[in-house]
Structure formats: structure tokens, C-alpha cells
């Protein structure tokens, strides 16, 4: 067998024809795929534009209008935004929002601990798995009405505290500046933590049992297993739940405020979302209400953006 | 051909589905059927009265059907607001007479010259008209009379060693009575400060001791400052009710309706300041406590020499008007005209046990309860109701400020300052 070193012959025109003919065909196929992709994406895009972008743009436009009652509106430029800087109620509502955001670690950690306990088949895990989710299935407005009775000065919580000799703790929960906000957040947490437990349980199902069992056999306690195995392996789930909570604590509380405190006493539980509603529909100040709404949107977006970026990094990080 | 027919069929089905989904079915009935009027109401007078309204009206107007959307009173603005903002929804709806109605006047069809004709048999209808002036635009039809009194539980007063037939008439007497009631372990005045009820039910009763009718009109126009000594004095006396311990401890965190009224209805409080018609009136309290146990009096007088001190803060009740966006305006007008009539006036008396505005109502139908008869005496000498002159931000700031003053978080001067800021934030009053 010999190997020829002679240069390869130039392709004849007959050889070239199929290649040049293939290129337009490929281009045609690509174009067809592009149009198909566009067709498939377009319903989602249309929905996003119609139900997200258009209302947002409309909100921005309204926030630059001034209206008396429900009458006609006039262009007001940045007046509504400047008004917000001098409005103590707006400032208080955002200060309260920051205090609510400060409770985020509890929102993230508590469901995680409970989910791990259920995952490890702690005594009564089947019962608790079902029970923890029940509050989430109750309409928040009903939860609010329910807790108005439970948190009353002579309600069951205070009665229980008095029965076990903790009289000093039996306070008027919804009367105090800080106790009212704390109570509101606690009720919200009661209402939503079941969703967190379920989210974490879904994430925990992806961790091989052998890994946790090996750690257990190596003598790792509950907290060691939690922080050395569960948390590192659940990072994407924790990040997802954190994002949800970061934005949720600022927009989930409306029905609870509505039913429980109406933003009071005074402005103790006034949060921006309730103020938007109050300003727009009770004070009939649509432009100003929209401006507060846009400020809340920016506030939530800024808060979420860090978590989303972190989540994206976690999600795209290559396994080591 | 077949393809074209299929396409046409699909288009027709799609159009029909779209019409169904968007509710564009014309007048809500078939071409020959009755017109369906959508009525937004908080059912003043109770569900039974409104069932009677529906059946009686439909019986006499077979060409019009009523479809009621009932919303609790304290949630009403939140439901009505989006309808008005989106210029869609009910054909007929209600607002309280006064600023609440005026603030929303653009949502209603002005009655023009028809107002006088429709309302000709009513004692008064100025609360449905701009600036309480019947020569200006009127936006609807009232049929009930409303205002505030102080209900009391005779048994609680007797247990405290007080004369149930001689309830406290002055502010000092009221304070002494509260001390006596507190000594028995009961609450003196059942109160809930969350929401707008303090503005409507308590503020006007104190304000009458400091303001003249001109001042009340200035309050409506937004031309009297909340730092005016008369209004500051009113706030001081309001604060005294809670800071003196006359009210229940949880007053800052509960609403007057239903929470505050419940305290009184349970027999746990001596007094409750509420209204004469609609909910929590003499009839509801009479049913809960017994007609013989229920007493009615005017709020205690602070300044006996004040021109309005012995008057009744009265106002027309709910005003029903036809919405601007309704495409059934004629039917809507027929309905509200019927509301102003004798037939509805008598239903109002018979089923809602309320104070009618129609002068032709058969007096034999009027209740003979002692509380109702006492109310008849009190309403005979009315004055303007200062509460309905407050804008949304003012009513809100009044309740929040009172909560904070009660909890020691705010001074009276700071409260007055907050009220002034609320006045300046009031879209309608800004125009003045």
C-alpha cells in the first residue's frame, strides 16, 4: 500500500454544486426555525407586553399626573415624586418596609429547619408535613380576621400566657408601635412558611439519602448536617426561596394589613403597598398613589436584583 | 369553499366567545326581555330591606330587573374605587351624602332640573347636591335620614349607681359617670378607632360645641385651618375620651363596626356613640339588649352656650345615583326615582326601622320603640353634620391621630399639624 503525496485535485463544478446548493437550503431551514421560534415565543411575549409592560408604562404615566378626586388628570411632571420626599407617611411606610425586610433570615431559615426535620423522618413527620401547609391554603383575608380575634387583649394567646404565669407577656399585641408590626409579620410568616417547607422538601428530595446517612454515621449532628451538607447542596433552592420572600414580604402583606390593622395604630403597620391602595382608592389621589406604587416597584426590584443575580450565578456555576 | 365556511364558522364562534367573555350582551337581557340594572350597595338598612326593595320594585317595573352587588360598609370604598377608576361596573351605586359623594361626583350623572321633581316629597336632599345647595348640581337620591346619638345601657348605669332615666348631659357629668361605671368593671364608652368611623360618628358630636354652621361650611370648603383653636379644642376633647380611660383599652386596634358595637351589644359597656339608621342603630341594639334596657341621649354638652351644642348633627343617608358609564341611564333614573318615593319610604320604615325622608310615609307605620321616639325628639332640631365634611385623607388622619394620641405617641398639636397636612393632601379641597 502506498500513500500518494500528489496534491488533491481541484473540485469540479459538478462537485461544488451540491455544497452551494446546501448553503441556501440551510439558510432557508434556519430562517424557518427562526420564524417557528418567534411564533412559539410570541404568545408569551404578547402576554408579557399586554399584562406586564403596558400596565407598568401606564403606571409610570399616571404617576406623572395630578388628579382631583376621580376627575380629569393634568400632567404634573415629577411633582408626585417630589411630594413623596416630604410626606412623613411615605417615609414611615418605607421605613416599616425595611424593618419587615430585616426579618428575612427568619423567613428563609425557619422553613428550612422544619423541612430538614420532616425529611429526616422526625417523629410525627407525616402529620407535620400536612399541617404546615394548611395555613397557606387559608385565604390571607380570613387569616387576618382570625388573628384579629386571636391577638385581642383578651384573646386566646393572652389567655394562654396568663394561664402559664407569663402575665407580663400578655400585651395588647396590635396596639404598640413595634408589637403591631411584629405581630403582622408573625401572622404573615404563619400563613406562608408552609410554602417554604414544601419548596425546601422538593429541593431536599434531590440530595442522595446515602450522603446524609454517611454523615450521620460519621457522627455529624443535626446542625452540622444542616450547614455542611444540606445548605451547600440546597443553594439554588435557598436562593429561589430568598428571592420569593424578599419581594413577597413587601407585596404579600396587603390582605393581612387590610383585615388586621388597616396600617395602624397610627402608621405603625403602614407599608407602601397599603399606602398605594389607601391613596388611590380612599384619598382619590391616583397620580400620587401611582408614584408611591412605582417607588415600591423600584424598591422591590433593587432588593430582588441582588438575590436574582446570586441565584443566576449559583444556577450556572459548574459543579466542582 | 369548505375552508372559507370553516373559517367563517370559527370567526363567528370566536366572536360569540369574546362577547360572552367580555359580557357585551347589550342590556343584560334578551332584545325583548327586561333590562338588568347592576346596583352596588352596602345594603343600608339590612339584607331583608333590600330583598323587599328588589321584589317590590321588580313587581311594579316588570321591564327592569335588579342585580345587587352587596359589599360591607367598611369595605365599600375599596370596591367602589376601582369601578370608578376604570369607569365601568354598576349602573346605580351609592355614597354617603356630603363630601364622600362630592369627591366622586364625576362618576354620577347630574340630575339637573329633574332633581327637584324626583325629590319633591323629601324633607331634605341638599346632602346629595354640591355644597349642600339644591340650586347646584345634585347627583342622586337619598331616602333616609342619618346622624349620631349616644346609646346607653340602662342596666349598666343602674349597676353603677346612676339614674338610668337621667343620663349624663354634660361633659363633667359624663366623666363622673365613667368613673362609676369603671368601678363596676365595665367599659364606659365602647369605641373602635380603626377606620373612618371616628370621623363620622364622634368628631361631629364634639365639634358642635366649638363650631358654627359657617365654620362647618368652611370645613367642607377646606378654608378653616386645623390649627384653628376651635378645631384644636375639638381634638383635645376627643383625646380626653381615651386618655381619661373612658373607652375600652383595645380601642386603638379595633374598628367601631363591628368590634366596638359588639362590646356594647354584649352588655359590656355603658355607652356607644353610633347612628340612627342603617346598621348599629336603636333597633339592632334593642334586639341585643332589649328595648326597655336601651336608652338614647344626645352626646354630653361641653359648651352649653355654643350655638350648635343642643342640635342634632343630621345628614341624609346613602345617596343613590346613576353612573356616568351606564348604558341603562333611563332605567337607572326610574329606579332611583322610585327609591325617593312613598313606597320605598314605607319599606324603609317597616323593614329597616330607619328614619324616612319621604313626608308621605304613613305615620302609623313608624315604630313605637321608646328609643325611636326619643330619636324623633332629637332629630327635630338639626344642624350640619361636621363629619361628612371631612375628606378621605382628613378622616384617615383623624382616626390614626386619635390612635396615636391614645397610645401616647402623639401630642395634640402634632395631631392638629397632621390634620392640616391631610387637608392639604385632599385632592378636592386643594381646589379651594
Pull the grid cell for residue B248.
Answer: 375600652
Chain B, window 382-411: residues with a beta carbon less than 8 angstroms from a chain A beta carbon: 391-393, 396, 399-401, 403-404, 406-407, 409-410
Question: How close, in Å, is residue A243 to chain B by CA atoms?
Answer: 30
- The C-alpha atoms of residue B158 and residue B174 are separated, in whole angstroms, by 15
Nearest to residue A173, comparing CAs of A182, A160, A161, A163? Answer: A182
If you compute the radius of gyration of chain B from its CA atoms, what whole number of angstroms results? 24
pLDDT in tens, A283-318: 888 899 999 999 999 998 888 887 777 766 766 665
**Helix A177-204, helix A235-251: angle, nearest 10:** 150
* Closest CB from A68, A87, A265 relative to B403: A265
Question: How close, in Å, is residue A145 to chain B by CA atoms?
Answer: 11
Nearest to residue B322, comparing CAs of B63, B31, B118? Answer: B118
Query: How does residue A24 score in pLDDT terms, banded at 50, 70 and 90?
Result: confident
- The C-alpha atoms of residue B170 and residue B350 are separated, in whole angstroms, by 34
Say whether A281 and B82 touch across the interface (CB within 8 A).
yes
pLDDT in tens, A205-258: 988 888 888 988 888 888 888 888 888 888 888 888 988 898 888 888 999 999
- The C-alpha atoms of residue B263 and residue B250 are separated, in whole angstroms, by 11
Q: Are B399 and B198 in contact (CB under 8 A)?
A: yes
Cα nearest neighbour of A282 on chain B: B392
Q: Which helix (H) or strand (E) holds B94?
A: strand B92-96
DSSP A49-72: IIIIIHHHHHHHHHTTEEESTTS-
**Interface test mutation site (partner A, options B78, B251, B253, B257, max chain A beta carbons within 10 A):** B253
CA geometry: angle B95, B96, B100, nearest 5 deg: 80
pTM attached to this predicted model: 0.79
Q: Which residues contact A172 (CB under 8 A, 6 or more apart)?
A: A153, A179, B249, B250, B253
Residues of chain A contacting B407 with CB distance shorter than 8 Å: 175-177, 265-266
- The C-alpha atoms of residue B31 and residue A178 are separated, in whole angstroms, by 60
CB proximity A155 to B under 8 Å: no
* Closest CB from B255, B407, B430 relative to A68: B430
Cα nearest neighbour of A62 on chain B: B85
Strands of B254-317, DSSP E: 269-275, 294-297, 312-316
Residues of chain A contacting B193 with CB distance shorter than 8 Å: 264-265
pLDDT of residue B29: 45
Per-residue pLDDT at A78 exceeds 80: yes
* Closest CB from A148, A172, A284 relative to B427: A284
Q: Which helix (H) or strand (E) holds B37?
A: strand B35-41
SS3 B152: strand
Query: How does residue A10 score in pLDDT terms, banded at 50, 70 and 90?
Result: low
Q: Which helix (H) or strand (E) holds B111?
A: none
How many C-beta atoms surround the C-beta of residue A113 within 10 A? 15
3-state DSSP: chain B helix, strand, coil percent, rounded to 5? 50, 15, 35
Q: Are B400 and A264 in contact (CB under 8 A)?
A: yes
Residues of chain B contacting A266 with CB distance shorter than 8 Å: 400-401, 403-404, 407, 409-410
CA geometry: angle B143, B312, B228, nearest 5 deg: 115
Residues of chain B contacting A150 with CB distance shorter than 8 Å: none
Say whether A264 and B194 touch across the interface (CB within 8 A).
yes
**Interface test mutation site (partner B, options A67, A261, A264, A288, max chain B beta carbons within 10 A):** A264
SS3 B432: coil
pLDDT of residue A2: 44
pLDDT of residue A70: 59
pLDDT in tens, A100-159: 999 999 999 999 999 989 988 888 888 888 888 889 999 988 999 899 889 988 889 999
Residues of chain A contacting B250 with CB distance shorter than 8 Å: 152-153, 172, 174-175
How many C-beta atoms surround the C-beta of residue B306 within 10 A? 17
Query: How does residue A191 score in pLDDT terms, banded at 50, 70 and 90?
Result: very high
What is the Cβ-side half-sphere exposure of residue A203, based on CA atoms within 13 angstroms?
A: 23
* Closest CB from A67, A174, A267 relative to B427: A67
Pull the grid cell for residue A72.
Answer: 380629569
> Taking CB atoms and an 8 Å cut-off, how many pairs form between chains A and B?
103
Domains in chain A: boundaries? 81-316
Cα nearest neighbour of B193 on chain A: A265
What is the Cβ-side half-sphere exposure of residue A35, based on CA atoms within 13 angstroms?
A: 5
- The C-alpha atoms of residue B73 and residue B431 are separated, in whole angstroms, by 28
CA distances from B163 to A301, B155, B159, B301 (A): 64, 10, 10, 18
Pull the grid cell for residue A18.
Answer: 451540491
Q: Are A191 and A138 in contact (CB under 8 A)?
A: yes
* Closest CB from A174, A180, A285 relative to B427: A285
Class of domain B32-145+315-371: alpha beta
Beta strand pairing call for B144-153 and B269-275: antiparallel
Question: How close, in Å, is residue B45 to chain A by CA atoms?
Answer: 23
Residues of chain B with pLDDT under 70: 1-32, 430-432
Question: Phi, psi at residue B184, to the nearest 5°?
Answer: -90, 0
Residues of chain B contacting A282 with CB distance shorter than 8 Å: 77-78, 81, 392, 396
The residue written with cell numbers 450556572 in the block is A316
pLDDT of residue B32: 62
Say whether A69 and B104 touch across the interface (CB within 8 A).
yes
Whether the ipTM is more than 0.90: the answer is: no
Q: Are A107 and A245 in contact (CB under 8 A)?
A: yes
Pull the grid cell for residue B332.
Answer: 337607572
- The C-alpha atoms of residue B272 and residue B285 are separated, in whole angstroms, by 10
Nearest to residue B399, comparing CAs of B249, B252, B182? Answer: B252
Residues of chain B with CATH 3.40.190.10: 32-145+315-371, 147-311+374-430
Class of domain A81-316: mainly alpha
pLDDT of residue A21: 60
CB burial readout B74-90, b (16+ within 10 A) else e: bebbebbbebbbeeebb
CB proximity B148 to A under 8 Å: no
Nearest to residue A155, comparing CAs of B178, B285, B249? Answer: B249
Higher pLDDT pick, B115 / A319: B115
What is the Cβ-side half-sphere exposure of residue A296, based on CA atoms within 13 angstroms?
A: 27
Say whether A284 and B104 touch across the interface (CB within 8 A).
yes
Residues of chain A contacting B84 with CB distance shorter than 8 Å: 70
Beta strand pairing call for B187-190 and B269-275: parallel
8-state DSSP, B253? G
What is the CATH code for B147-311+374-430? 3.40.190.10
pLDDT of residue B345: 95
Amino acid at each position: 500500500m502506498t500513500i500518494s503525496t500528489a496534491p488533491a485535485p481541484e473540485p469540479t463544478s459538478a462537485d461544488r454544486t451540491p455544497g452551494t446548493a446546501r448553503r441556501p437550503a440551510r439558510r432557508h431551514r434556519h430562517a424557518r426555525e427562526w420564524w417557528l421560534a418567534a411564533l412559539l415565543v410570541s404568545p408569551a411575549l404578547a402576554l408579557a407586553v399586554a399584562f406586564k409592560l403596558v400596565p407598568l408604562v401606564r403606571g409610570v404615566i399616571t404617576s406623572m399626573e395630578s388628579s382631583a378626586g376621580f376627575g380629569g388628570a393634568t400632567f404634573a411632571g415629577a411633582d408626585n415624586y417630589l411630594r413623596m420626599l416630604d410626606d412623613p407617611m411615605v417615609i414611615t411606610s418605607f421605613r416599616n418596609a425595611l424593618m419587615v425586610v430585616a426579618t428575612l433570615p427568619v423567613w428563609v431559615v425557619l422553613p428550612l429547619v422544619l423541612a430538614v426535620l420532616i425529611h429526616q423522618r422526625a417523629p410525627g413527620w407525616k402529620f407535620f408535613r400536612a399541617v404546615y401547609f394548611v395555613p397557606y391554603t387559608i385565604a390571607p383575608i380570613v387569616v387576618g380576621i382570625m388573628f384579629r380575634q386571636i391577638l385581642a387583649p383578651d384573646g386566646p394567646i393572652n389567655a394562654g400566657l396568663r394561664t402559664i404565669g407569663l402575665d407580663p407577656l400578655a400585651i395588647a399585641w396590635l396596639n404598640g408601635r413595634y408589637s403591631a408590626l411584629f405581630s403582622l409579620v408573625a401572622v404573615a410568616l404563619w400563613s406562608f412558611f408552609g410554602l417554604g417547607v414544601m419548596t425546601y422538601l422538593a429541593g431536599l428530595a434531590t440530595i442522595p439519602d446515602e450522603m446524609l446517612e454517611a454523615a450521620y454515621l460519621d457522627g455529624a449532628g443535626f446542625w452540622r448536617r444542616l450547614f455542611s451538607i444540606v445548605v451547600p447542596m440546597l443553594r439554588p433552592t435557598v436562593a429561589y426561596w430568598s428571592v420569593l420572600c424578599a419581594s413577597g414580604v413587601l407585596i404579600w402583606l396587603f390582605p393581612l394589613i387590610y383585615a388586621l390593622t388597616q396600617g395602624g395604630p397610627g402608621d405603625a403597620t403602614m407599608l407602601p403597598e397599603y399606602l398605594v391602595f389607601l391613596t388611590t382608592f380612599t384619598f382619590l389621589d391616583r397620580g400620587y398613589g401611582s408614584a408611591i406604587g412605582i417607588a415600591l416597584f423600584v424598591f422591590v426590584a433593587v432588593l430582588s436584583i441582588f438575590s436574582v443575580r446570586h441565584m443566576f450565578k449559583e444556577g450556572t456555576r459548574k459543579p466542582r | 369553499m369548505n375552508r372559507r365556511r370553516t373559517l367563517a364558522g370559527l370567526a363567528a364562534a370566536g366572536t360569540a366567545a369574546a362577547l360572552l367573555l367580555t359580557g357585551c350582551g347589550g342590556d343584560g337581557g334578551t332584545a325583548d326581555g327586561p333590562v338588568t340594572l347592576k346596583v352596588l350597595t352596602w345594603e343600608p338598612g339590612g339584607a331583608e330591606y333590600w330583598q323587599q326593595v328588589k321584589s317590590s320594585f321588580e313587581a311594579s317595573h316588570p321591564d327592569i330587573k335588579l342585580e345587587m352587588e352587596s359589599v360591607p360598609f367598611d369595605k365599600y370604598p375599596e370596591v367602589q374605587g376601582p369601578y370608578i377608576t376604570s369607569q365601568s361596573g354598576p349602573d346605580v351605586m351609592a355614597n354617603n351624602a356630603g363630601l364622600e359623594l362630592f369627591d366622586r361626583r364625576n362618576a354620577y350623572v347630574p340630575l339637573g332640573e329633574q332633581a327637584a321633581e324626583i325629590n319633591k316629597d323629601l324633607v331634605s336632599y341638599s346632602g346629595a347636591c354640591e355644597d349642600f345647595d339644591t340650586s347646584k348640581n345634585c347627583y342622586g337620591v337619598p331616602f333616609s335620614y342619618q346622624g349620631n346619638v349616644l346609646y346607653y345601657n340602662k342596666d349598666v348605669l343602674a349597676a353603677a349607681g346612676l339614674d338610668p332615666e337621667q343620663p349624663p348631659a354634660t361633659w363633667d357629668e359624663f366623666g363622673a359617670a365613667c368613673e362609676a361605671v369603671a368601678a363596676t368593671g365595665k367599659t364606659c364608652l365602647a369605641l373602635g378607632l380603626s377606620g373612618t368611623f371616628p370621623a363620622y360618628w364622634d368628631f361631629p358630636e364634639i365639634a358642635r360645641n366649638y363650631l358654627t354652621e359657617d365654620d362647618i361650611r368652611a370645613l367642607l370648603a377646606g378654608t378653616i385651618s386645623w390649627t384653628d383653636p376651635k378645631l384644636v379644642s375639638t381634638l383635645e376633647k376627643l383625646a380626653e375620651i381615651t386618655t381619661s380611660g373612658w373607652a375600652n383599652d383595645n380601642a386603638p386596634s379595633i374598628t367601631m363596626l363591628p368590634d366596638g358595637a359588639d362590646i356594647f351589644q354584649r352588655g359590656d359597656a355603658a355607652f356607644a356613640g353610633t347612628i340612627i339608621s342603617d346598621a348599629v342603630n336603636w333597633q339592632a341594639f334593642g334586639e341585643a339588649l332589649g328595648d326597655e334596657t336601651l336608652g338614647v341621649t344626645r352626646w354630653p354638652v361641653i359648651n352649653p352656650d355654643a350655638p350648635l351644642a343642643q342640635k342634632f348633627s343630621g345628614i341624609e343617608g346613602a345617596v343613590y345615583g346613576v353612573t356616568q358609564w351606564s348604558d341603562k341611564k333611563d332605567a337607572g333614573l326610574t329606579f332611583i326615582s322610585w327609591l325617593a318615593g312613598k313606597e320605598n319610604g314605607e319599606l324603609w320604615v317597616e323593614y329597616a326601622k330607619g328614619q324616612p325622608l319621604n313626608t308621605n310615609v304613613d305615620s302609623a307605620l313608624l315604630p313605637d320603640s321608646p328609643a325611636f321616639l326619643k330619636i324623633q325628639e332629637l332629630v327635630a332640631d338639626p344642624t350640619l353634620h361636621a363629619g361628612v365634611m371631612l375628606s378621605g385623607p382628613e378622616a384617615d388622619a383623624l382616626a390614626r391621630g386619635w390612635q396615636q394620641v391614645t397610645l401616647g405617641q402623639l401630642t395634640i398639636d402634632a395631631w392638629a399639624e397632621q390634620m392640616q397636612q391631610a387637608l392639604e393632601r385632599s385632592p378636592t379641597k386643594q381646589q379651594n
